[in-house]
C-alpha cells in the first residue's frame, strides 16, 4: 500500500488494513506504538492533540479517545454549506442502536469539526440537540487559535486529496467514516451515507477478538 494511503482506504467496502502504528510527532503525539519497519511520513502521523467535546470538556485524542478502544470517526461542519452534514449525522445516529450496550463502553463514536474557528463547544452542543445522540458519541472541535492542528489531523486520518485544488474544498472530506480498533491497529472505512447496517458490518470487521473489552484483551 502506498504510504500516503494511511487510513485512506478509498472507501472500499470490506477493506481492512492494519495501521502502521502511532508514529510520534515532536510536540503532540504519543510515543510510537507498533511502528512498522517503513513508517508513514511524520506529516501523516496521528497527533495526540487537545480537543473539546460538545460538553465543553477538554480531552486528548489518543490518550482519552482512542487508546484501547474501538471507534468510528467522521469529520463534519456545524454550518454545512451543502446540507450533507445533517443527513450524515442523522444516518450515523441510526448506527447507535446497532452497537447496543457496547456504545460508550468499548465502542465509541467521534464526530470532529473541520472548522474549529466557527464550531465552538457551544455550537456543537446546540447542534447535538437536533439528533438522537447517546452517551458514547462525542462531537469534538479543536483549538480555534490553532486551526492547523485540525488540518494535520484531517490529513493524518486520510481525509485529503492529492490534487491541491480539490483538497481545498473541505466538503469533499465528509463522505467517509473511519473505523478503527486501536489495540490491534485494525482499520476500515465506510461511506457516511451507507445503510446503517452496512456501517455496523464494517465495524464488525475490526471488532477482534469479537466482543473484547480492554481489560479482557490486556489479560489475554
Tens-digit pLDDT profile for residues 147-182? 999 988 888 888 876 777 766 666 666 789 999 988
Verdict on whether the full-model pTM lies above 0.85: no
Q: Predicted confidence band at 19 (pLDDT cuts at 50, 70, 90)?
A: very low
- Helix, coil or strand: residue 138: strand
Q: Which of the listed CATH numbers 3.10.450.50, 3.40.30.10, 3.90.76.10, 3.40.50.300 matches domain 3-213?
A: 3.40.30.10
Confirm whether residue 85 is marked as ligand binding: yes
Instruction: Judge whether 158 and 6 are in contact, CB under 8 Å.
Output: yes
Residue in this structure with the C-alpha cell 496521528, named with its chain if needed? 46
Confirm whether residue 75 is marked as ligand binding: no
Q: What would the pLDDT profile of 60-110 be if each residue is shown by its tens digit?
A: 999 999 988 999 999 999 988 778 899 999 999 999 999 999 999 999 999
What does the chain come to in residues?
220
Amino acid at each position: 500500500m502506498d504510504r500516503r494511503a494511511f487510513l485512506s482506504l478509498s472507501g472500499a467496502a470490506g477493506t481492512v488494513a492494519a495501521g502502521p502504528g502511532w508514529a510520534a510527532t515532536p510536540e503532540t503525539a504519543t510515543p510510537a506504538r507498533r511502528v512498522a519497519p517503513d513508517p508513514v511520513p511524520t506529516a501523516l502521523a496521528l497527533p495526540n492533540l487537545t480537543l473539546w467535546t460538545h460538553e465543553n470538556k477538554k480531552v486528548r485524542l489518543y490518550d482519552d479517545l482512542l487508546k484501547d478502544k474501538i471507534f468510528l470517526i467522521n469529520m463534519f461542519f456545524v454550518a454545512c454549506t451543502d446540507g450533507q452534514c445533517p443527513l450524515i449525522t442523522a444516518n450515523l445516529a441510526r448506527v447507535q442502536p446497532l452497537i447496543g450496550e457496547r456504545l460508550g463502553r468499548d465502542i465509541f463514536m467521534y464526530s470532529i469539526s473541520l472548522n474549529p474557528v466557527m464550531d465552538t463547544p457551544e455550537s456543537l452542543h446546540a447542534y447535538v440537540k437536533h439528533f438522537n445522540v447517546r452517551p458514547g458519541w462525542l462531537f469534538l472541535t479543536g483549538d480555534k487559535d490553532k486551526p492547523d492542528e485540525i488540518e494535520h489531523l484531517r490529513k493524518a486520518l486520510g481525509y485529503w486529496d492529492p490534487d491541491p485544488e480539490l483538497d481545498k474544498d473541505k466538503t469533499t472530506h465528509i463522505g467517509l467514516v473511519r473505523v478503527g480498533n486501536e489495540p490491534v491497529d485494525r482499520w476500515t472505512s465506510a461511506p457516511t451515507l451507507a445503510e446503517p447496517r452496512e456501517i455496523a458490518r464494517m465495524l464488525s470487521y475490526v471488532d477482534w477478538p469479537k466482543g473484547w473489552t480492554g481489560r479482557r484483551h490486556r489479560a489475554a
